[in-house]
Structure 1
Amino acid sequence: MLSNTNSIKLIIRANQKCAPVLSKIQIWGLPAHSLDTVDRELVKSIWNEITNPYDPLERQRIAEEVGQRSPSRCVPELNKESTLQIPEEFLDAITWELMRLLQKVAMNLINGIRLYIEKMCSESGPGMKNMLLDRETTSIISMAFSQSDMLQREVYLFERLDSGRSNERMKYLKCIVFIRPTKQNIQLLANELRSPKYGSYYIYFSNIIPRTDIKFLAECDESESVREVKEFYADYLSVNPNLFSLNIPKSMQRLNWLPEALTRSVQGIIGVLLTLRLNPVIRYRAGSSVAQNLAKQIFEQITKDSTLFEFRQQENGAAPPLLLLLDRRDDPVTPLLHQWTYQAMVHELLTIRNNRLDLSNIQGIPNDFKELVLSGEQDEFYSKNMYANFGEIGSTIKSLMEEFQRKAKDHKKVESIADMKNFIESYPQFKKMSGTVQKHLCIMGELSNLTSKRNLFEVSELEQEIACKAEHSAQLQRIKKIIADERIAINDAVKLVVLYALRYERHANCDTSGLLQIIKMRSDQAHIIPSLIEYAGTHVRQGEVFSLVRITDAVKLTRNLIKGLKGVENVFTQHTPLLKETLEDIFKGRELDPLYPAINSELVPFRRPPQEVVVFIIGGTTYEEALAVHQLNNNGYRVILGGTTIHNSQSFIDEALAATEGLQFKHTKSMIKYYATSENF
């Protein structure tokens, strides 16, 4: 129906007492011949109402003929500041299509996942439901919905298709199957359909499934219990609205793609493009074989399934969307630096996995806070403060705690029936606030302990100086002093040496070997430094990743959690990821071809910059880069960032070691005695 219209008019009902509600949809255009008689008459009535809007008698006559009440002409106007969200109750077929169009405008991946899951639940109809998942789709759903959210949608049970399950038959339940279209999953689902546990099955694959597999499943469905089979392209982990991950911690071996990592990356990116309804120009980092290989495979997949990418053409000569494929090795500095914004700092020091934080190995943490969910969709405080710096978070939590203490005192004063009523009404909010305060106090307390224990103010300040300031002699002396200090964690010492080695690799007085000797005296981790140089040294990097900006030497900060961290943002977060500079160049309309050639050059004759950009970093992205994208989006740009994984410094080093394992080293011969294995000779 939508495909045969010129435009759509939404009738919105709103007043001061309720949120705007979608009341009626009017279709501007001629009815499709494929519509049945009732629908055709309905569209004709709307058309007549549009072309003859001020004849109430004619409108009333048409409405009576087709059994429809004429819509009210009173449509409130929304000012520019208003935000309109269509309520979930109106998830019928047409509204769902409209919401997909709105989703394309918003470029919000979490909403994209939620929309797919909402559609699954609504298509299966009312009644109790079970959801059958695999390992990856379990994470995909849990990062967009809480269990209570799913209970509201009548999903009461969750099972894994790929793990041990009960054989109890529950024919009274409907089963929503949401799995990735892997060979293993297809076989497991076939076994399920041969001996069905549930009354009916609604099957959704997270990506494109071959027709041969559909035929195979149909042959296995001898009881005819399958009601739906569809592709919903939720094949990625939506971490933030503008950030996704594929949970591939190690993507390369001997600096070439691991085959399974390449396949998964193609599938994940295709899922993102289909969710956002984008058919982009594909550009990759020149000189990166892994980026070029990925670009070719994505282009081949889009060409093979071209009908899925037949979206509406760009209007007014606008440039097509851009998919930009980057190589982590171009910027090894960003994942090595200590972070000071909340989300990034938590990941660096405590490690976030699938929006969950495991504190079970930390002494003194209450049992209720051993595992915490860190999701902007489920935690308003986290949503508002994930990009705030350490000092701001401390002050904000202090204010939140003071507000909580005031409310706690009010709750103790229950002296009348009115007080009791107010207490009961406000208790759920009070309880939620209590949990939020305790949760973030636990996290901040541990961050503060680690910051003090590891002398991270001193270490981080030197990291930033190496990244942003070219003063070899002074920095070398400071590094020698710090890494020899037993109070400095060996991991932090190694990172300082790596940063020095990457920056001054070709400096005439480079003394990486001298620093390696100090590291070797303290631990067995000296092999990390030559491996990182082979992985991302100057022979690999295409541009200048180190800044030459000078910073003030006289920096004095108060190391207090709650107060006095005003200088944190200026001193410890002055480094800017290379990605931000790249995106700014793109939106300024600068020439991209020399550094970022296009694989599908027939889409490139546009001189205007793209309106939508999806960036994917092979080898992993970081929360610092997510912050840069967030800042650009706040300025009106539309960027989505993704990566094979989301790194902190330790996971980045682990990936670099895995990628260079068994590789013959060519660029670090002077460090031969520090190699990890004889294979590196």
Structure 2
Amino acid sequence: LATLIRNKHSALKRMLNFNAPPLKNAAAEPVWKVLIYDRFGQDIISPLLGVKELRDMGITLHLLLHSDRDPIPDVPAIYFVMPTEENIDRICQDLRNQLYESYYLNFISAISRSKLEDIASAALAANAVTQVTKVYDQYLNFITLEDDMFILCHQNKELISYHAINRADILDTDMEAIMDTIVDSLFCFFVTLGAVPIIRCPRGNAAEMVAVKLDKKLRENLRDARNSLFTGDNMTAGQFSFQRPLFVLADRNLDLATPLHHTWTYQALIHDVLDFHLNRVMMEEGQGAEPSPAGARPKKKSRKTYDLTAADKFWQKHKGSPFPEVAESVQEELDTYRAQEDEVKRLKSIMGLEGEDEGAISMLSDNTAKLTSAVSSLPELLEKKRLIDLHTNVATAVLDHIKSRKLDVYFEYEEKLMSKSTLDKSLLDIISDPDAGTPEDKMRLFLIYYITAQQAPSEADLEQYKKALQDAGCDLSPLNYIKQWKAFTKMAAAPANYGNSGVKPMGLFSRVMNTGSQFVMEGVKNLVLKQHVSDKQQRSERTSETDDYRYFDPKMLRGSESLCVTMSCDDVVVFVLQAIVFVVGGGNYIEYQNLVDYAKSKQGKKVLYGCSELFNAAQFIKQVRKQDTCKLSRQHRTKNMNFNESGQFNLLVALCVCVCVCVCVCLKQAGNYLFYDL
């Protein structure tokens, strides 16, 4: 799985070099060209390749397909777009207008034959057949945000959103279109990964629909051996290994509490309280600064963007850390930088000594080498200063939200709710406190309480809560939907008890800041982060949960599913190394960080997280608010969906449940089947 981002990075670089291997000779001059992309292509490229990298590859100009573009007749153009009707029409228009010297057409997903014929007809009519040099299907229709995280799309994500999948008036044709869109992106993902997965999913929800369609699409491609994307020249190094990935599909409806949770880790907090999309955070310049003096003209605030990339060592080290630890680390980095800066100034002062004092001359000689080293490291020092300023500004903005909304109180209280710990304050007190958060914060807290409660509150208590929420300015439509969602779910016989041995303290990750730190966490307490771990993760055993999971192996003959399901664990050789967890209906950074922490605790195991869209709590509540408050979708009413009484379906449980019983490779040798459990 670690090769995924390298594969995609290489595929993009190859595409930008006219679909030829990139030049290995750094001294060789690249061919100068322009890059034309649509919004989808822009979203795919921007998290992986910066402007400098594009310039190094000869991209002098990158423009949106539907922008006003002037002709550049002596320069080749590389197109990277979705094969939509609008895009095809615009490409045909470019051919007629003779905008560029030559055209290299790269489609994000496979283009249909009819649309290809439209381009051919336009090229013929414009006498530009020889100028259309290459046409490629790139199969890159997904967005890589981290080495171990991907999403399907950012543009038009409302078309495959939680609301779109679960709306009450959805037609069968609409659902088919949504599933096809998701499956097309997942197919591209596995083509780029270069591996055919083993698929496992729960029954009776959208995840199962995706699994069935993906299995069918993979089988159809494998059946055509001559043109298969997983064989022959298209095979990557991963194909020569028996390490096939386990692909676990989960449905968002299995857990509606986690997307509402107030989090405490740096990356998830930024996504929750700031404008953070595609690894770029946008905020008003001066956010968190002191207000203008009375009577002074208020300063006009400008928007500033910060890219949080893999090249940012501080970000890579601390994005999953609790916020107080991040704040302390920013201060430490700042102190280290100032010490280095003072050393450079001291050496400069020594170099400027005058006179023939022997002591001064001796000191000058001793420090010449040090100054030379300091000057050579100056670019690195300036970059370090830039990153410190970046994280100082971002952390300050996050801290303002924590202090003004008392997010530490919400986080601690929700942790206790989920772990069934003793509460030191009544829920009604927090909801009624005018200084404790926004109306949305209060609604999120109450929804988590309602979802995770083993026993629903009485009607009298519920009315009291609803009145308090309304008095706090809350819109109750999300609660109305959650009530129906919970009523239509089939409760498991044995609800998960997060208060027992399943909850294991992972130690104090945060400490009180030093008094000298500019990030003194007033009102922010030391908190113990909990990890919910099921006993089923620790031992390979069949359970009612695993029995209800469907199994698909696109490489096996039809009818093999029943054979695999009936195999006992004694017949299976455990061989689990790679897994991909994908959430249909949307995901979040909280689940991603949980899986990252889980993978770190399992030496040699790789886990990758994906979701159809990435949303924060505010965006999720907005979708829930749209849901019909009178009825649920047919998916809820007619499908037999299994939940535990807490309403949560922990992704770590889902992953390990599948790993325990999944038969992933079936090789026939001398008439006997050898089974490997991945």
Shorter-chain TM-score range: 0.7 to 0.9
Are residues 1:355 and 2:305 paired?
Answer: no
Aligned to 2:216: 300
Within the candidate set 5, 14, 18, 1:123 is matched to 18
Task: Indicate if the aligned counterparts of 2:166 and 2:633 stay in contact, CA closer than 8 A.
Answer: no
The 5-angstrom pairing of residues 537-552 of structure 1 reads 539=489, 544=495, 547-549=498-500
Task: Indicate if the aligned counterparts of 1:284 and 1:291 stay in contact, CA closer than 8 A.
Answer: yes
Q: Distance in 1 between matches of 2:509 and 2:427?
A: 19
Aligned to 1:5: none
Within the candidate set 142, 145, 150, 1:239 is matched to 145
Q: 1:130 to 1:661 in 2, by over 3 A?
A: farther
Are residues 1:269 and 2:186 paired?
Answer: yes
Q: 1:243 to 1:435 in 2, by over 3 A?
A: same
Are residues 1:629 and 2:595 paired?
Answer: yes
The 5-angstrom pairing of residues 428-577 of structure 1 reads 428-469=379-420, 478-489=426-437, 490-504=439-453, 506-507=455-456, 509=458, 511-535=461-485, 539=489, 544=495, 547-549=498-500, 560=513, 571=527, 573-576=529-532
Task: Indicate if the aligned counterparts of 2:324 and 2:512 stay in contact, CA closer than 8 A.
Answer: no
Aligned to 2:656: none
For 1:262, the aligned partner's letter is M
Aligned to 2:676: none
Aligned to 2:670: none
Q: Distance in 1 between matches of 2:468 and 2:500?
A: 29
The 5-angstrom pairing of residues 653-664 of structure 1 reads 653-660=621-628, 663=631
Q: Distance in 1 between matches of 2:591 and 2:277?
A: 18
Q: Distance in 1 between matches of 2:281 and 2:535?
A: 32
- Encode CA deviations 1:512-567: one digit per residue, 9 max, x unaligned: 332111101221412221222334567167685662348899x99976485998x9
Give the alignment's TM-score, normalised by structure 1.
0.72
Aligned to 1:595: 548
Are residues 1:426 and 2:377 paired?
Answer: yes
The 5-angstrom pairing of residues 21-32 of structure 1 reads none
More contact order relative to length (CA 8 Å, sep ≥ 6): 2
Secondary structure of the residue aligned to 1:512 is helix
Task: Indicate if the aligned counterparts of 1:535 and 1:659 stay in contact, CA closer than 8 A.
Answer: no
Task: Indicate if the aligned counterparts of 1:325 and 1:616 stay in contact, CA closer than 8 A.
Answer: yes
Are residues 1:389 and 2:322 paired?
Answer: yes
Q: 1:464 to 1:369 in 2, by over 3 A?
A: farther
What is the number of equivalent residue pairs in this alignment? 551
Task: Indicate if the aligned counterparts of 1:284 and 1:326 stay in contact, CA closer than 8 A.
Answer: yes
- Encode CA deviations 1:177-222: one digit per residue, 9 max, x unaligned: 1112223322222222233311112221122222333233223223
Task: Indicate if the aligned counterparts of 1:349 and 1:450 stay in contact, CA closer than 8 A.
Answer: yes
Task: Indicate if the aligned counterparts of 1:329 and 1:536 stay in contact, CA closer than 8 A.
Answer: no
**Quick one: percent identity of the two aligned structures?**
19
Secondary structure of the residue aligned to 1:615 is strand
C-alpha displacement of 1:243: 0.5
Q: Distance in 1 between matches of 2:548 and 2:340?
A: 57
Q: Distance in 1 between matches of 2:239 and 2:142?
A: 29
Secondary structure of the residue aligned to 1:642 is strand
- Encode CA deviations 1:220-271: one digit per residue, 9 max, x unaligned: 2231212221122221111111101123252424266756543331122111
Q: Distance in 2 between matches of 1:314 and 1:411?
A: 49
Q: Distance in 1 between matches of 2:255 and 2:551?
A: 21
Larger mean Cα displacement after TM superposition, 518-527 or 409-418: 409-418
Larger mean Cα displacement after TM superposition, 527-536 or 648-657: 527-536
For 1:547, the aligned partner's letter is Y
For 1:298, the aligned partner's letter is L
Task: Indicate if the aligned counterparts of 1:286 and 1:594 stay in contact, CA closer than 8 A.
Answer: no
- Encode CA deviations 1:49-69: one digit per residue, 9 max, x unaligned: xxxxxxxxxxxxxxxxxxxxx
Within the candidate set 377, 387, 405, 2:338 is matched to 405
C-alpha displacement of 1:141: 0.3
Q: 1:302 to 1:189 in 2, by over 3 A?
A: farther
Q: Distance in 2 between matches of 1:596 and 1:128?
A: 52
The 5-angstrom pairing of residues 318-333 of structure 1 reads 320-333=244-257
- Structure 2 residue runs of 5 or longer lacking an equivalent are 21-29, 223-227, 290-298, 353-367, 638-678
C-alpha displacement of 1:422: 4.7
Give the alignment's TM-score, normalised by structure 2.
0.73
For 1:112, the aligned partner's letter is N
Q: Distance in 1 between matches of 2:12 and 2:52?
A: 14
Aligned to 2:230: 309
Task: Indicate if the aligned counterparts of 2:75 and 2:101 stay in contact, CA closer than 8 A.
Answer: yes
For 2:105, the aligned partner's letter is I
Within the candidate set 587, 609, 615, 2:581 is matched to 615
C-alpha displacement of 1:357: 0.8
- Structure 1 residue runs of 5 or longer lacking an equivalent are 1-105, 669-681
Q: Distance in 2 between matches of 1:470 and 1:284?
A: 32
Task: Indicate if the aligned counterparts of 1:124 and 1:174 stay in contact, CA closer than 8 A.
Answer: no
Within the candidate set 83, 91, 98, 1:196 is matched to 98
Q: 1:278 to 1:557 in 2, by over 3 A?
A: closer
Q: Distance in 2 between matches of 1:660 and 1:583?
A: 37
Within the candidate set 112, 121, 127, 2:7 is matched to 112
Secondary structure of the residue aligned to 2:67 is coil
- Encode CA deviations 1:270-324: one digit per residue, 9 max, x unaligned: 1111111121222222221x11222222223223333223458999995743222
Q: Distance in 2 between matches of 1:282 and 1:539?
A: 24
C-alpha displacement of 1:443: 1.2
CA-atom RMSD in angstroms: 3.7
For 1:164, the aligned partner's letter is S
Within the candidate set 370, 379, 389, 2:312 is matched to 379
Q: 1:590 to 1:610 in 2, by over 3 A?
A: farther
Task: Indicate if the aligned counterparts of 2:103 and 2:134 stay in contact, CA closer than 8 A.
Answer: yes
C-alpha displacement of 1:140: 0.8
Secondary structure of the residue aligned to 2:309 is coil
Secondary structure of the residue aligned to 1:123 is coil
Q: Distance in 2 between matches of 1:349 and 1:656?
A: 19
Secondary structure of the residue aligned to 1:165 is coil
For 1:462, the aligned partner's letter is Y
Task: Indicate if the aligned counterparts of 1:464 and 1:575 stay in contact, CA closer than 8 A.
Answer: no
Q: Distance in 2 between matches of 1:170 and 1:312?
A: 37
C-alpha displacement of 1:664: 5.4
Aligned to 2:662: none
Task: Indicate if the aligned counterparts of 1:140 and 1:237 stay in contact, CA closer than 8 A.
Answer: yes
Aligned to 2:167: 254
Aligned to 2:76: 174
The 5-angstrom pairing of residues 660-671 of structure 1 reads 660=628, 663=631
Task: Indicate if the aligned counterparts of 2:18 and 2:78 stay in contact, CA closer than 8 A.
Answer: no
Task: Indicate if the aligned counterparts of 2:477 and 2:625 stay in contact, CA closer than 8 A.
Answer: no
Q: 1:408 to 1:442 in 2, by over 3 A?
A: same
The 5-angstrom pairing of residues 146-161 of structure 1 reads 146-161=50-65
Q: 1:146 to 1:339 in 2, by over 3 A?
A: same
Aligned to 1:287: 204
For 1:296, the aligned partner's letter is V
Q: Distance in 2 between matches of 1:440 and 1:328?
A: 32
Secondary structure of the residue aligned to 2:548 is coil
Q: Distance in 2 between matches of 1:387 and 1:314?
A: 29
For 1:463, the aligned partner's letter is E
Aligned to 2:112: 210
Aligned to 1:650: 618
Q: Distance in 2 between matches of 1:518 and 1:219?
A: 66
For 1:117, the aligned partner's letter is L
- Encode CA deviations 1:610-648: one digit per residue, 9 max, x unaligned: 543222101211212212222344332122211112232
Aligned to 2:195: 278
Q: Distance in 2 between matches of 1:368 and 1:487?
A: 26
C-alpha displacement of 1:369: 9.1
